[in-house]
């Protein structure tokens, strides 16, 4: 979410009424599809200066997911090869940009109509998954970021180099599947709120290295339609719910 602080609890000193902030709400609390949301002050960071509130709302969930996948779990380093499944989506579009900023070789899977879009974000290669099986097109991958799951995840082991890591976002990796690839690692995690990481992401955005991609802005009154479209997949970037004054 992003928005303006309307009130603070007693003793809160790190945010003030009127601050423009953004953050990821804890998964153990209610979400942010509402006019107001209660959130821990420690989970909020100043929003990027170069974005408005609607653009900013597209950032925290996806960008934090990518940041934690690449740097907390995969330890992504310059020069490594990264395969990003669902590269044109909300998470994937951030992953392409952050991988390229890090100095990695970014390869994305997407339909052919997203090719130029992804190259414009900084992808080095784009594989049309509808006509090419990615495991026949690439090899020696250091990091696979899987936003799809299922058969796509299972086939991804084939492209990893020894010591490589598969990061699964949609679902845990079965123990039997991971055990069958003992010289490669598999990770599943749930993204968490993190103020410091949001600050680093805001700096990247304000520097021009990364930008959010918004598929559509939808009024809060049509939230159900937005969630249904999101569940159907194949959107380019993020859907944003806008609270109208």
pLDDT of 245: 62
Tens-place pLDDT, residues 14-48 = 999 999 999 999 988 888 999 999 999 999 999 99
The total number of structural domains in the chain stands at: 2
Considering the domain architecture, whether residues 97 and 136 belong to the same structural domain is answered as yes
Considering the domain architecture, whether residues 11 and 51 belong to the same structural domain is answered as yes
Residue 68 domain flag: no
Considering the domain architecture, whether residues 10 and 54 belong to the same structural domain is answered as yes
Considering the domain architecture, whether residues 184 and 78 belong to the same structural domain is answered as yes
For residue 182, name the pLDDT band (cuts at 50, 70, 90). Answer: confident
pLDDT of 54: 94
Considering the domain architecture, whether residues 54 and 145 belong to the same structural domain is answered as no
pLDDT of 217: 93
pLDDT of 229: 87
Quote the domain boundaries for residue 123: 74-188
Provide mean pLDDT across the span 93-108: 98
Distance between CA atoms of 76 and 80, rounded to whole angstroms?
A: 7
Chain centroid, CA 64 distance in Å = 6
Residue 65 domain flag: no
> What is the CATH classification number for the domain harbouring 24?
3.90.180.10
Provide mean pLDDT across the span 175-198: 95
> Percent of the chain, pLDDT > 70?
100
Considering the domain architecture, whether residues 182 and 79 belong to the same structural domain is answered as yes
Q: Which residue is associated with the tokens 């740097």?
A: 71
Three-class DSSP category at 66: helix
- Average per-residue pLDDT for the chain: 95
pLDDT at 110 over 90: yes
Residue 67 domain flag: no
Q: Which residue is associated with the tokens 């003793």?
A: 11
Considering the domain architecture, whether residues 37 and 91 belong to the same structural domain is answered as no
pLDDT at 244 over 90: no
Three-class DSSP category at 62: helix
Three-class DSSP category at 168: strand
pTM of the model: 0.95
Distance between CA atoms of 57 and 22, rounded to whole angstroms?
A: 7
> What is the CATH classification number for the domain harbouring 160?
3.40.50.720
């Amino acid at each position: 979410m992003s928005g303006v602080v309307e009130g603070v609890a007693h003793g809160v000193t790190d945010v003030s009424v009127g601050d423009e902030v953004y953050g990821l709400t804890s998964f153990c609390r209610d979400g942010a599809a509402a006019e107001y949301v209660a959130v821990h002050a420690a989970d909020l960071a100043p929003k990027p200066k170069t974005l408005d509130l609607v653009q900013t709302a597209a950032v925290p969930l996806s960008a934090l997911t990518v940041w934690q996948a690449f740097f907390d779990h995969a330890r992504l380093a310059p020069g490594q090869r990264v395969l990003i499944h669902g590269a044109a989506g909300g998470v994937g579009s951030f992953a392409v940009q952050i991988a390229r900023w890090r100095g990695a070789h970014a390869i994305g899977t997407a339909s052919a109509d997203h090719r130029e879009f992804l190259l414009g974000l900084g992808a080095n290669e784009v594989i049309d998954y509808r006509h090419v099986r990615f495991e026949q097109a690439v090899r020696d991958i250091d990091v696979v970021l899987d936003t799809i799951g299922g058969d796509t995840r299972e086939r991804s082991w084939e492209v990893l180099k020894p010591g490589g890591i598969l990061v699964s976002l949609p679902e845990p990796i079965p123990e039997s599947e991971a055990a069958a690839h003992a010289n490669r690692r598999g990770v599943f995690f749930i993204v968490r709120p993190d103020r410091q990481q949001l600050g680093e992401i805001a700096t990247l955005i304000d520097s021009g290295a990364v930008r959010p991609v918004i598929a559509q802005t939808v009024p809060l009154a049509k939230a159900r339609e937005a969630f249904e479209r999101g569940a159907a997949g194949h959107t380019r970037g993020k859907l944003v719910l806008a609270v109208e004054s």
